[in-house]
Structures are given as C-alpha cells and as structure tokens.
Amino acid sequence: DAKTTQPNSMESNEEEPVHLPCNHSTISGTDYIHWYRQLPSQGPEYVIHGLTSNVNNRMASLAIAEDRKSSTLILHRATLRDAAVYYCILSWETSGSRLTFGEGTQLTVNP
Amino acid sequence: AAGVIQSPRHLIKEKRETATLKCYPIPRHDTVYWYQQGPGQDPQFLISFYEKMQSDKGSIPDRFSAQQFSDYHSELNMSSLELGDSALYFCASSLAGGRAAGELFFGEGSRLTVL
C-alpha cells in the first residue's frame, strides 16, 4: 500500500475552517484518495473521496494537488462534533480491496 | 436508513475459548470487511469478502476464520483466544463497483474482552 503522512494533531476553533493536510508522494495513478474519521468509541465514518479532481459534498471538500502527491481535507465550519481522528487513505480500484488505516490526525475543536 | 448491524456488542471470554462475531451488512451491499482495533491503536484490516468469496486478506491470525453467507451476512470465528485479542472488532459493508463506488459503512463494533 502507498503510504500517507499526516500531522499527529491539529487544533481549531468552532465555526472556523479547518484544513487537514495529507502527503502521499508514492501514490500511483490508480489510487483513490479517501478520508474517513473516527469519533471516540465509534466506527470509522466516511467523509469524502476522489481521484484527480477536487470534490465537494455536504460534509467537506477535498482539494487534490495537480501532481496528486498531496491532498487537503477542508471542513468549512468546524463544530464540536467534528472533533475526531481523521484518516487519509489510499486504495486501488478493486471490489473488496482493503482500506489501510494509518496514523491519522487528531482534530481538537475549541468552543 | 438501515446501517451495518454487529452482534454481540460486548463479549467476555476466557483465554483459550472461542468466540463468534456476526455482521449484517446494509441491504444490497455485497462486500463485507472486518477490522480489529486494539486500545489506542488504529483499525487494522483483517479480511474482506465480495460476493461470498474472500477478496482480500490482511493480518488475520490463523486462529481466526471468517466467511460470508448466501444472505451476505458474515461471521468472524476466533479460537484459542489470547489476551491480545481483546479489541474492538468492526465490520463494514459496501456496494460492488470498486473504489469508485466510494464509501465503506462501518458498524458500531463488537467489543471483545479476553480474561
């Protein structure tokens, strides 16, 4: 699996935007970029995914660098409920293939 | 909306006993994944099934086995339990279509405690 690198922790204030970076310099052309988050004592939750173009959904935006060696998850207005561990994951296009969780970013949101 | 159902939610076993965890995927999802998460650790992939066939295998001990049944539910069987098997076990399901189809939906997990 291609490796991703994320900061161990980040802090934000409520209602401010949050930019969570992820480096994946060994990404291959067929790797998708996924973001999941895990709140305490809960299962991981899908946030967003993309291949080459920037993506938006109701939860977040995903900005992918032109060379695809890095990406940024953007939470437009952080809430206390967004405090979680955020995982950036690469995977290939095969039904049933694994998602490998590495060391994500612990996001703290201050009131 | 229906979610991934895991049972039991909590399970306490003695060393060397066996345990079975069950996972019921979201209706019409045909792919199931099992993950193990130890205390303070990140989820570790164990095994996955697509259309009732094993599709990928991770760091699953030989003492563990799993299968997906005709109704797409899955069971994870763990034998000769060790203290180190104490963990949260998550099941996830997804639709076919590979990664382009997007997300895995995770259950709330089964917490196994081995004494």
Return the minimum-mean-pLDDT range out of A65-69, A96-100, B16-20.
Answer: A96-100
CA-based nearest distance A61→chain B, Å: 15
A21 has pLDDT over 90: yes
State the pLDDT confidence band at A31, using cuts at 50, 70 and 90: confident
**Any CB–CB contact under 8 A between B92 and chain A?**
yes
B96 has pLDDT over 70: no
Q: Please work out, in degrees rounded to the nearest 5, the angle formed at the alpha carbon of residue A43 by the alpha carbons of B102 and B75.
A: 85
Compute the distance between CA of residue A43 and CA of residue A36 in angstroms, rounded to an integer: 10
Report in angstroms the alpha-carbon separations of A51 from A19, A27, A94, A98, B101.
19, 11, 14, 17, 12
pLDDT at A96: 62
State the pLDDT confidence band at A42, using cuts at 50, 70 and 90: very high
CA-based nearest distance A14→chain B, Å: 26
Cross-chain residue pair B33–A92, CB shorter than 8 Å = no
Mean pLDDT within A25-31: 88
What does pLDDT average to over chain B?
92
pLDDT at A74: 98
Helices (H), chain B: none
pLDDT at B101: 52
Mutate: best of A32, A99, A101, partner B, most B CBs <10 A: A99
Nearest to A104 among B42, B100, B103 (CB): B42
Nearest to B58 among A95, A98, A102 (CB): A98
pLDDT at A2: 66
